[in-house]
C-alpha cells in the first residue's frame, strides 16, 4: 500500500518551511527578484509596437512562469483563458501552459509507472510511446494501446509534493505580507483564498482522489448525451499514475481549428456554459479547472449543442445547498432589479458583514448591475462587472469568502474560454434563460419557494411584471421558444395540479381577494400572458422543432 500524501495545513506547512531556512529564504528572494525583473521588463517594453519585442517578451513571460514551477503555472493557466485581459501575442504563448510545457525525463516517467503499477510499461501495454503526447503543470500524458484501444496514461511529475508544499507556503506568506499594497480590496481573505488554492492543489496531486472525482462527475452527467467523460481504467491507476480511455477530439482552444474540423464553435460554447451552470446550480459539484486543455469538442451533436468531453478531474470543488439557492435568488434579484434584496444575498453569502447598512449599497449596486439584462446586455460580461466591482470594493466593505475562490476561478475561466471561441460572447444570454427555465420547470421545494417569491409579493398579490419578465427572458427569441415551450408548459401544468402545487394554488386564490372583495384584474392579466406565451401556434412550432431535433 502506497503512503498517502498529507493534507494541506497552513500552520503545519509554514512551521515545516521556517524550520528549513536554507530552503525558505533563497526561494523567497528568487521569487521576489524574478517578479521585479518581470515587472521592470513589462514596464519598459509592454507598450512597444515592435512585434519582435512583444514576441520576445511573451516568450520571457512563459519562461518565467514555467521556471517558477507548478503553483505559478496554475496561476498562469487562469490568465491564459482571458483574451479580454491579456494581449493576444502574450496569450498565444501563455496558452502553452495548458498542456505544452517542457516534459520531464522519459526514463523517470517509466520508473514511476513501474513503481506505482508493479510492472514495466512495455509489459502492461501492447504499445507505449517513447515520449509524451502532452505535458502539463502536474504531469505528462502518454497515448498507450491495449486490446486495440488507445488509453491516456498520465504520469505525475517527480518531487511534486515538496514543490507545491514549499511554494504554497511562500505564496501565502508573500500574499499576506503584500496584501495592503495590492490594487484590489478583497477584505480579510487573501490568506484564506491561498489556503483554498493549496488544498485544491494537494488534492490534485492525489490521482486516486482524481479517479474518484472522475467517477462521480461521470455519474452526474450520465443522462446528458452531449457530455462525455473518459472511462477510468482502475487496473492502470494509482496515486501517481491515472489511466483513462483516449479522447479523440479537438481542444477548445481556437475557433479556426474547430471550423477546420467542421465543428460549430457556438454549439460547444452553449454546451460548455450550460454544463457549467448545471454543475453550479443543480449538482453543487463542479470542475474547477475548465481551461481549453481540459475540454475537447467531439464529433456528433448538433448546431445548437455540440458534444463536449471533460478531462482532468484533479481540481474539483463543491458548493453548499444554501449557497447554491442563494446564488439562484441573487440572479433572480438582478433580473428583477431588486438591489436591496441582492445586497441581502451578498450578506448571506458572506461578501458583506452582518453589520453593513445594506440600504447604502442599493445605488452602487444599481450602478454596477443596472441594465444587465436590458438594452445593455450586449455589452455585459464578467469583465465589465469585475472592473466596476473593483472600484466599488474600495468604498464598500465587500470581501471574497475563501469558499468562493475556486467558484470564481471556474466561472471566470469558463467565460474566458467562451470568449476565445467567440469574442462577442455574453454569458448572461445563456445564464439568464437557464435560471428562468429552472424556476419554471424544477419542482423541488427550494426552487418552488423562489418561484413563489417571484410570482407573489409579500402581500400575496400577483407580480405580473416579474412573471412577464421571466417568460420574456426564456422565450424572447424563436430558438428558445422552439426548444423550451412544451417542457415549460408541461412542467407548469404538472406543478399546478400536483400536491406540491398547493402553495401556488393557495397564493393564487388569496391574490384574488382585495379589501375583502374579489378582484380579477391581475388574474386576467396573468391568464392573458399565459395564453399569449403558450398559444397554439407557439406550441405547434415547439412540437415541430422537437420532432426535427430528434430526426
| DSSP states along 308-331 | EEE---SSEEE--HHHHHHHHHHH
Q: What is the pLDDT of residue 46?
A: 78
The reported pLDDT for the residue numbered 44 is 86
pLDDT score at 476:
58
List helix spans (H) across 19-159.
21-45, 51-68, 70-79, 88-94, 106-117, 121-124
Residue 82 confidence class, pLDDT cut points 50, 70, 90: low
Sheet of strand 307-310: strand arrangement? 227-228, 307-310, 295-298, 250-251
Mean pLDDT highest for which of 144-148, 173-177, 179-183, 509-513?
144-148
| Distance from chain centroid for Cα 84 | 17
Nearest to 11 by CA among 150, 178, 137, 198: 198
Instruction: Measure CA 217 to chain center.
Output: 14
What is the mean predicted confidence (pLDDT) over 45-56? 83
Using 50, 70 and 90 to split pLDDT, how confident is the model at 1? very low
pLDDT of 310:
94
The mean per-residue pLDDT over the stretch 375-402 comes to: 60
Whole-angstrom distance, CA of residue 492 vs CA of residue 511: 19
Look at residue 513 and tell me whether its pLDDT is greater than 50: yes
C-alpha cell at 241: 499514475
For the full predicted model, state whether its pTM sits above 0.85: no
The pLDDT tens digits of the residues spanning 317-361 come to: 899 999 999 988 888 888 778 889 989 998 999 888 888 888 888
Distance CA 6, CA 203 (A): 10
3-state secondary structure (DSSP) of residue 147: coil
pLDDT at residue number 465: 73
pLDDT surpassing 50 at residue 478: no
Strands 517-518 and 227-228: unpaired
190 vs 184, more confident: 190
Query: Quick one: pLDDT at residue 454?
Result: 76
- In whole angstroms, what is the distance from residue 425 CA to residue 269 CA? 9
Q: Residue 496: helix, strand or coil by DSSP?
A: helix
Q: What is the mean pLDDT of residues 420-438?
A: 77
β 307-310/250-251 pair status:
unpaired
Q: Is the pLDDT reported for residue 83 higher than 60?
A: no
Q: How far apart are CA 243 and CA 473, in angstroms?
A: 43
- Sign of the dihedral through C-alpha 267, 271, 276, 280: positive
- 477 or 488, which is more confident? 488
Which one has a higher pLDDT value, 367 or 276? Answer: 276
pLDDT at 116: 95
Mean pLDDT of 76-101: 70
- Give the chain's mean pLDDT: 79
Do residues 512 and 519 make contact, with C-beta atoms less than 8 angstroms apart?
yes
User: 497-507 pLDDT, tens per residue?
Assistant: 666 666 666 66
Write the CA distances from 371 to 107, 265, 473, integer angstroms.
58, 28, 14
pLDDT per residue over 132-166, tens digit each? 998 888 899 999 999 889 999 999 999 999 999 99
Between residues 105 and 451, the one the model is more confident about: 105
Query: Are 453 and 336 contacting, i.e. CB atoms less than 8 angstroms apart?
Result: no
Q: Are strands 227-228 and 307-310 parallel, antiparallel or unpaired?
A: parallel
Give the range among 154-158, 165-169, 280-284, 473-477 with minimum mean pLDDT. 473-477
- Residue 36 half-sphere exposure toward CB, CA atoms < 13 A: 6
Owner of C-alpha cell 388569496? 510
> Residue 437: what pLDDT?
79
Phi/psi of residue 325, each to 5°? -70, -35
Residue 377 has pLDDT above 50, yes or no: no
- The pLDDT confidence band at residue 178, using thresholds 50, 70 and 90, is confident
For 527, the 3-state DSSP assignment is helix
> What is the predicted pLDDT for the residue at 270?
86
Q: What percent of the chain has pLDDT over 70?
A: 74
Which pLDDT score, from 0 to 100, does residue 378 have? 44
Instruction: Give the distance, in angstroms, between the CA of residue 444 and the centroid of all CA atoms in the same chain.
Output: 24
* Spatial contact of 336 and 466, defined as CB atoms under 8 Å apart: yes
pLDDT at 376: 45
* DSSP assignment string, 342-388: HHHHHHHHTSS-TTS-GGGGHHHHHHHHTTTTTGGGGG--HHHHHHH
> How far, in whole angstroms, is CA 421 from its chain's centroid?
16
Residue 67 bears catalytic tag: no
Q: What angle, rounded to 10 degrees, do the helices at 160-178 and 190-204 form?
A: 170
Nearest-angstrom CA–CA distance, 304 and 268: 8
Per-residue pLDDT reduced to its tens digit, 219-232: 999 999 999 999 99
Angle between helices 70-79 and 160-178 (to 10 degrees): 60
Q: Which of 13, 203, 206, 289 is catalytic?
A: 289
Q: CA 58 to CA 46: how far, in whole Å?
A: 10
| Residue 497 grid cell | 395540479
2-14 burial: b if 16+ Cβ within 10 Å, else e: eeebeebebeebb
pLDDT at 204 over 50: yes
Number of other CB atoms surrounding residue 134 within 10 Å: 18
If residue 493 lies in a helix (H) or strand (E), which one and from where to where?
A: helix 478-497
Domain boundaries, the chain: 10-97, 249-438, 442-550
Amino acid at each position: 500500500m502506497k503512503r498517502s500524501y498529507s493534507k494541506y495545513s497552513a500552520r503545519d506547512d509554514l512551521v515545516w518551511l521556517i524550520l528549513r531556512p536554507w530552503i525558505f529564504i533563497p526561494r523567497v528572494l528568487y521569487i521576489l527578484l524574478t517578479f521585479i525583473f518581470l515587472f521592470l521588463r513589462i514596464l519598459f517594453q509592454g507598450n512597444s509596437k515592435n512585434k519582435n519585442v512583444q514576441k520576445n517578451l511573451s516568450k520571457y513571460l512563459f519562461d518565467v512562469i514555467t521556471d517558477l514551477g507548478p503553483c505559478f503555472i496554475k496561476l498562469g493557466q487562469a490568465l491564459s483563458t482571458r483574451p479580454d485581459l491579456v494581449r493576444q501575442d502574450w496569450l498565444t504563448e501563455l496558452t502553452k501552459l495548458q498542456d505544452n510545457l517542457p516534459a520531464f525525463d522519459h526514463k523517470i516517467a517509466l520508473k514511476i509507472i513501474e513503481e506505482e503499477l508493479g510492472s514495466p510499461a512495455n509489459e502492461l501495454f501492447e504499445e507505449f510511446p517513447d515520449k509524451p503526447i502532452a505535458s502539463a503543470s502536474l504531469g505528462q500524458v502518454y497515448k498507450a494501446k491495449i486490446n486495440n484501444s488507445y488509453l491516456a496514461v498520465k504520469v505525475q511529475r517527480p518531487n511534486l509534493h515538496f514543490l507545491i508544499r514549499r511554494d504554497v507556503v511562500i505564496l501565502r506568506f508573500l500574499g499576506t505580507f503584500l496584501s495592503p499594497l495590492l490594487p484590489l480590496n478583497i477584505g480579510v481573505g487573501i490568506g484564506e483564498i491561498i489556503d483554498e488554492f493549496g488544498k485544491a492543489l494537494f488534492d490534485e496531486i492525489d490521482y486516486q482522489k482524481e479517479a474518484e472525482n472522475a467517477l462521480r462527475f461521470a455519474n452526474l452527467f450520465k443522462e446528458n448525451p452531449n457530455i462525455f467523460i473518459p472511462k477510468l481504467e482502475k487496473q492502470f491507476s494509482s496515486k501517481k499514475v491515472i489511466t483513462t480511455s483516449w479522447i479523440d477530439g479537438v481542444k477548445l482552444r481556437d475557433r479556426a481549428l474547430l471550423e477546420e474540423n467542421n465543428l460549430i464553435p457556438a454549439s460547444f460554447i452553449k454546451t460548455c456554459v450550460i454544463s457549467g451552470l448545471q454543475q453550479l446550480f443543480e449538482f453543487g459539484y463542479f470542475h474547477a479547472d475548465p481551461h481549453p486543455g481540459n475540454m475537447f469538442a467531439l464529433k456528433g451533436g448538433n448546431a445548437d449543442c455540440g458534444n463536449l468531453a471533460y478531462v482532468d478531474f484533479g481540481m474539483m470543488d463543491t458548493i453548499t445547498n444554501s449557497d447554491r439557492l442563494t446564488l439562484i435568488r441573487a440572479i433572480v434579484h438582478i433580473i428583477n432589479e431588486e438591489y436591496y434584496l441582492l445586497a441581502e444575498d451578498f450578506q448571506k453569502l458572506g461578501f458583506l458583514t452582518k453589520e453593513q447598512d445594506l440600504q447604502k449599497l442599493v445605488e452602487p449596486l444599481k450602478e454596477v448591475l443596472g441594465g444587465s439584462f436590458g438594452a445593455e446586455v450586449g455589452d455585459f460580461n464578467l469583465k465589465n462587472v469585475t472592473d466596476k466591482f473593483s472600484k466599488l470594493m474600495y468604498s464598500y466593505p465587500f470581501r471574497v469568502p475563501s469558499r468562493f475562490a475556486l467558484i470564481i476561478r471556474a466561472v471566470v475561466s469558463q467565460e474566458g474560454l467562451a470568449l476565445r471561441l467567440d469574442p462577442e460572447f455574453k454569458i448572461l444570454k445563456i445564464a439568464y434563460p437557464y435560471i428562468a427555465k429552472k424556476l419554471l420547470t424544477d419542482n423541488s421545494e427550494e426552487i418552488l419557494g423562489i418561484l413563489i417569491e417571484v410570482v407573489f409579493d409579500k402581500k400575496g398579490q400577483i407580480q405580473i411584471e416579474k412573471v412577464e419578465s421571466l417568460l420574456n427572458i426564456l422565450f424572447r427569441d424563436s430558438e428558445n421558444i422552439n426548444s423550451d415551450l412544451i417542457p415549460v408548459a408541461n412542467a407548469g401544468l404538472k406543478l399546478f395540479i400536483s400536491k406540491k402545487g398547493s402553495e401556488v394554488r393557495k397564493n393564487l386564490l388569496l391574490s384574488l381577494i382585495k379589501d375583502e372583495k374579489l378582484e380579477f384584474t391581475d388574474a386576467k392579466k396573468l391568464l392573458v400572458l399565459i395564453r399569449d406565451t403558450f398559444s397554439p401556434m407557439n406550441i405547434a412550432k415547439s412540437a415541430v422543432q422537437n420532432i426535427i431535433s430528434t430526426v
